[in-house]
């Protein structure tokens, strides 16, 4: 058994401590917005916040995440109001297939928390998620729009 | 609010015919547009016709037959229907009718196949007609209620007005009566000049849920009592399972069952996928790899190279006397190029959930071809069409891979061994990378001749390599030849070469290694465009001419090809020098009924790192339904195509694909993405595709710019094999 605190709520789940956080979130807790893309921390589709830091949840175990504050894509919209990244994603029609966008939005939300006005270089350094549809141009445009709002 | 909902049709409303369905689902297209007996959606709202359901609150639900894989077809198709329907766009929703419903209703929604950039161009006529017929019926219902001639009524924004009296009603109020009317036999579609929604960059209808994690892709599906399966297919295609030692994993947590899938795969079924995958990794499996285990990239390359020189070849485009012209030429230029296997690597790994009972078999999946998926369910389950169905989800990337149904069949084969239990089969990324339907591998030898006046007089292209149709659709071969291999090189048609060369011979020597090929975004144009457009660039330099001027001289008879080329050249300022240290390359190509051109501006850093600063593309798809989405498809196609150019390439060792994940099959990141400017320039009068055509020009434009920068020709892909990467 393990206790995970996700989006402000604690979940007690029957799971082995070495289970990747990604799969505990998806299968044991049941939040499916966090996506499986590679399982080796390459693509970023599974990005969540662990104590406010963007991390690839496929590379974090349940035991490592225990006692930490975990935020998933489902936890971004406070009381139903989209956060500014989510809203900008709608305003700029960012997603194509959308599958990588949970992770992308989590990564961008973390970036903007630390660096509200990132330069192009800051974006290049911080956002390393794979998007096979190639939405990067809209991702960059939306980030700058938030920064300049 | 626009929203895409999962379909909830009331099956009882349909007469489920005992339709016998073959592998090709070859039932003629029938388009009944409504009629006296009202068909109702699950919430009781009437169908005005198969394409349009209207609720009392004026919500319009538009049925979408094709699959949404990120390309925006859902929104574009809805625009086509709504244009003719004259409905309130802000109250439009969409849903996917199931393939089973399509069969039961004599294919009222036509073809479900979503590939070949055909979603809009091959259905635009009948979906617009669907919207127009619904509008006529709604108008008639209002006129009947008011007892006035329908000619005195007009519809706009879901409101019907009797122009003489000023009375108004709404679609929601008259939909019930409209649904009972006999549909008109024919309707006149709007003149394109009167379009208000087609051609407008409206926002996509499927975005909001993609920002909150609430889209249920098929990987996210949960069903009561559902189990999860992880699978390993023989690493060597054509091999088989010899044995596996189930006892070794018998006590592992969550494991419910180990099943053989077909004769080549083993799956572990467990309570969670993580348990299934962990147990599968621990399961000893002995494979009978067969003869194919002797194949390597080197043996394939050697076999293809032989095809460049000898053996039978199919002629795709021929005029004049190439051999004679080459023999008599004042100067000859020759080059050999190659293009490797590529994996689709859609972000959502392949998956499907199946529930089998002796009476019924249902599958939930992302698919690019709902009807082919249904056919796989029929074949796997052995049940007739009226006892099977496929529930289509929004798809986490397709790029052609999900037009195939191997993963659907596997899910059914597993579920059939556990009747009554829904089982979700999910491929690991490693399984997805190593069991693809790969972009075909080819080589190409090109020889060109100039006369004494430095005019290009002859071009011989001999392509050697794999045919997709040979493996996946042998019935589509023509006398054993694969006409699709000449995409973009044909004498005429929707994928014609844009140059007039007096003596031309383009042929294909078919050689099919055991690696299964597939339709990979752009398909045969990826290599054909590199071959032709890089070689044309070589010829321009051999002739001492500017690459743009050289092309223009050959393009007088190809005004649409030329128009897009001129557009990118003008926008980039071809006649003025690029910034210091920046070099340009051009390409143009036509495919899927659409004309495209591209120009790249790059720098080469440290001798082997390419920085792509900017790309300008022009696209003429005839009609542009949603220009903003066309821009996104263009930029996205460059990310996909340039990732493949630089980082891609799947190699074969001991008969198996060597690349297993994104660490060995990398993909371009935001830092490497150039600024892409797209000129959408629809010239009207034809309907071309959008999802694929632009991918053709990205790679050759960059390769030609690399030559401009370095004086070196790169003639094989991927560039990482030549120690070249993105800066």
Candidate from B216, B347, B661 with C-beta closest to A45: B347
- Model confidence over B487-500: pLDDT tens digits? 999 999 999 999 99
Class of domain B312-342+438-726: alpha beta
**Residue B528: both structure tokens together:** 């054909």
- Model confidence over B275-290: pLDDT tens digits? 999 999 999 999 999 9
pLDDT band for position B641 (cuts 50, 70, 90): very high
Helix (H), strand (E) counts: chain B: 16, 29
pLDDT band for position B7 (cuts 50, 70, 90): very low
Rounded mean pLDDT of B388-413? 98
B685 class by beta-carbon count within 10 Å (0-12 exposed, 13-18 middle, 19+ buried)? exposed
Q: Are B695 and B640 in contact (CB under 8 A)?
A: yes
pLDDT band for position B475 (cuts 50, 70, 90): very high
Residues of A in contact with B212 (CB under 8 A): 33, 73-74, 76-77, 82, 86
Fold agreement (B3-197, B312-342+438-726): yes
Look up the CATH architecture of domain B218-290+350-426. 2-Layer Sandwich (3.30)
Total structural domains within chain A: 2
Rounded mean pLDDT of B473-495? 96
Rounded mean pLDDT of A110-117? 98
Helix (H), strand (E) counts: chain A: 6, 5
Contacts of B415 (CB under 8 A, 6+ apart): B354, B355, B356, B361, B421, B422, B423
Candidate from B211, B426, B635 with C-beta closest to A86: B211
pLDDT of residue B10: 37
Q: Which of A144-148, B22-26, B101-105, B685-689 has the lowest mean pLDDT?
A: B22-26
pLDDT of residue B14: 30
Provide the strand spans (E) within B167-283.
Answer: 168-170, 227-233, 240-244, 255-261, 265-270
Q: How far is B349 from chain A (nearest CA, A)?
A: 7
Same domain, A25 and A71: yes
pLDDT band for position B13 (cuts 50, 70, 90): very low
- Model confidence over B512-569: pLDDT tens digits? 999 999 999 999 999 999 999 999 999 999 999 999 999 999 999 999 999 999 999 9
Asked if the interface predicted TM-score (ipTM) of this complex is over 0.90, the answer is yes
Residues of A in contact with B639 (CB under 8 A): 131-134, 136
pLDDT of residue B604: 98
Same domain, A142 and A88: yes
Q: Per CATH, is B3-197 categorized as 3.40.50.720?
A: no
pLDDT of residue B702: 98
Q: Are B617 and B596 in contact (CB under 8 A)?
A: yes
Give the whole-angstrom CA distance, residue B456 versus residue B325.
Answer: 10
* Helical residues (DSSP H) of chain A, grouped into ranges: 21-23, 62-65, 84-91, 101-114, 120-126, 136-147
Same domain, A28 and A66: yes
Same domain, A39 and A66: yes
Q: Are B571 and B584 in contact (CB under 8 A)?
A: no
A11 interface with B at CB cutoff 8 Å: no
| SS3 call for A134 | coil
pLDDT of B34 over the 90 cut: no
- Model confidence over B290-340: pLDDT tens digits? 999 999 999 999 999 999 998 889 999 999 999 999 999 999 999 999 999
pLDDT of residue B19: 32
| Whether the bond into B355 is cis, omega within 30 of 0 | no
Q: Domain locations in chain B? A: 3-197, 218-290+350-426, 312-342+438-726
Give the whole-angstrom CA distance, residue B232 versus residue B283.
Answer: 10
Candidate from B643, B667, B670 with C-beta closest to A124: B670
Q: Which of A19, A49, A75 is the last residue of a domain?
A: A75
CATH of residue A114's domain is: 1.10.150.120
CATH of residue A37's domain is: 3.10.20.30
pLDDT of residue B684: 98
Share the mean pLDDT of chain B: 95
pLDDT of residue B376: 98
Vertex B496 angle, CA B523 and B368, to 5°:
30
Same domain, A120 and A141: yes
Q: Which of A43, A75, A107 is the last residue of a domain?
A: A75
Same domain, A34 and A6: yes
Same domain, A96 and A37: no
B204 interface with A at CB cutoff 8 Å: yes
Rounded mean pLDDT of A45-62? 98
pLDDT of residue B5: 53
Share the mean pLDDT of chain A: 97
pLDDT of residue B557: 98
| SS3 call for B203 | coil
Same domain, A65 and A17: yes
B396 interface with A at CB cutoff 8 Å: yes
Same domain, A93 and A132: yes
Going B542 to B544 to B547 to B553, the CA torsion angle's sign is negative
Residues of the domain holding A101: 84-147
pLDDT of residue B42: 87
């Amino acid at each position: 058994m393990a206790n995970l605190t996700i989006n402000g709520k604690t979940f007690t789940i029957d799971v082995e401590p070495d289970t990747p956080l990604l799969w505990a979130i998806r299968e044991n807790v049941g939040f499916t917005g966090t996506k499986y893309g590679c399982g080796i921390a390459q693509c970023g589709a599974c990005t969540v916040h662990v104590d406010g830091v963007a991390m690839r949840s496929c590379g974090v175990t349940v035991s490592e995440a225990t006692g930490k504050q975990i935020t998933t894509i489902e936890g971004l919209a406070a009381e139903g109001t989209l956060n500014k990244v989510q809203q900008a994603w709608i305003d700029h029609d960012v997603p194509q297939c959308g599958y990588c966008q949970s992770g992308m939005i989590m990564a961008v939300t973390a970036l903007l928390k630390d660096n509200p006005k990132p330069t192009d270089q800051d974006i290049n350094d911080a956002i390393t998620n794979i998007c096979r549809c190639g939405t990067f141009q809209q991702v960059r445009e939306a980030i700058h729009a938030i920064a300049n709002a | 609010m626009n929203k895409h909902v999962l379909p909830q049709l009331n099956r009882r409303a349909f007469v489920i015919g005992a339709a016998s369905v073959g592998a090709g689902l070859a039932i003629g297209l029938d388009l009944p547009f409504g009629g006296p007996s009202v068909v109702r959606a699950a919430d009781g709202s009437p169908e005005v016709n198969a394409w349009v359901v209207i609720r009392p609150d004026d919500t319009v639900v538009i049925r979408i037959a094709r699959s949404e894989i990120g390309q925006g077809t859902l929104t574009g198709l809805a625009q086509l229907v709504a244009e003719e329907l004259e409905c309130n766009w802000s109250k439009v929703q969409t849903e996917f009718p199931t393939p089973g419903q399509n069969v039961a209703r004599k294919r009222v929604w036509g073809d479900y196949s979503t590939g070949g950039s055909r979603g809009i161009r091959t259905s635009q006529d009948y979906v617009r007609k669907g919207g127009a017929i619904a509008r006529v019926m709604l108008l008639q219902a209002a006129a009947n209620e008011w007892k006035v001639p329908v000619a005195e009524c007009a519809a706009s924004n879901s409101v019907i007005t009797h122009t003489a009296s000023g009375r108004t009603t709404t679609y929601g109020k008259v939909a019930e009566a409209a649904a009972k009317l006999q549909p008109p036999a024919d309707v006149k579609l709007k003149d394109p000049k009167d379009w208000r929604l087609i051609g407008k960059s409206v926002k996509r209808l499927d975005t909001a849920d993609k920002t909150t994690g609430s889209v249920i892709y098929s990987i996210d599906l949960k069903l009561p009592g559902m189990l999860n399966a992880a699978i390993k297919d023989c690493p060597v295609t054509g091999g088989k399972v010899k044995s596996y030692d189930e006892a070794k994993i018998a006590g592992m947590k969550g494991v419910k069952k180990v099943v053989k899938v077909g004769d080549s795969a083993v799956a572990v079924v467990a309570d969670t996928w993580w348990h299934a995958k962990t147990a599968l990794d621990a399961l000893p499996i002995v494979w009978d790899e067969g003869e194919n285990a002797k194949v390597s990239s080197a043996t394939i390359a050697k076999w293809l190279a032989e095809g460049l020189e000898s053996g039978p070849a199919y002629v795709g485009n021929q005029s004049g006397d190439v051999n004679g012209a080459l023999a008599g030429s004042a100067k000859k230029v020759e080059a050999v190029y190659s293009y490797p296997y590529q994996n689709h690597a859609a972000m959502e790994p392949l998956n499907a959930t199946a529930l089998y009972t002796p009476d019924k078999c249902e599958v939930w999946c992302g698919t690019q071809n709902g009807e082919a998926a249904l056919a796989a369910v029929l074949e796997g389950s052995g049940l007739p069409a009226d006892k099977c169905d496929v529930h289509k989800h929004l798809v986490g990337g397709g790029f052609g891979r999900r037009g195939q149904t191997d993963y659907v069949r596997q899910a059914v084969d597993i579920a059939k061994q556990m009747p009554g239990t829904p089982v979700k089969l999910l491929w690991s990324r490693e399984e997805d990378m190593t069991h693809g339907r790969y972009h075909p591998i080819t080589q190409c030898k090109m020889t060109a001749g100039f006369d004494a006046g430095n005019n290009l007089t002859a071009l011989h292209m001999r392509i050697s390599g794999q045919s997709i149709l040979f493996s996946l659709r042998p019935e589509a071969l023509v006398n054993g030849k694969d006409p699709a291999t000449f995409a973009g090189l044909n004498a005429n048609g929707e994928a014609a070469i844009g140059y007039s060369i007096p003596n031309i011979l383009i042929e294909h020597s078919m050689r099919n290694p055991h690696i299964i090929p597939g339709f990979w975004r752009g398909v045969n144009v990826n290599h054909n465009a590199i071959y032709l457009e890089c070689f044309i660039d070589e010829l321009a330099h051999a002739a001492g001419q500017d690459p743009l001027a050289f092309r223009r001289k050959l393009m007088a008879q190809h005004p649409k090809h030329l128009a897009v080329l001129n557009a990118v050249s003008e926008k980039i300022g071809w006649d003025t020098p690029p910034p210091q240290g920046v070099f340009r390359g051009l390409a143009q190509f036509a495919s899927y009924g659409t004309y495209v051109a591209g120009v790249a501006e790059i720098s080469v850093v440290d001798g082997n790192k390419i920085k792509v600063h900017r790309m300008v593309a022009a696209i003429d798809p005839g009609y542009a339904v949603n220009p903003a989405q066309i821009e996104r498809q263009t930029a996205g196609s460059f990310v996909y195509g340039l990732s493949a150019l630089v980082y891609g390439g799947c190699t074969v060792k001991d008969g198996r694909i060597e690349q297993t994940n994104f660490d060995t099959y990398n993909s371009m990141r935001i830092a490497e993405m150039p600024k892409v400017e797209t000129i959408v320039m629809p010239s009207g009068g034809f309907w071309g595709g959008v999802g694929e055509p632009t991918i053709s020009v990205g790679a050759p434009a960059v390769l030609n710019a690399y030559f401009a920068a370095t004086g070196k020709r790169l003639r094989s892909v991927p560039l990482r094999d030549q120690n070249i990467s993105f800066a």
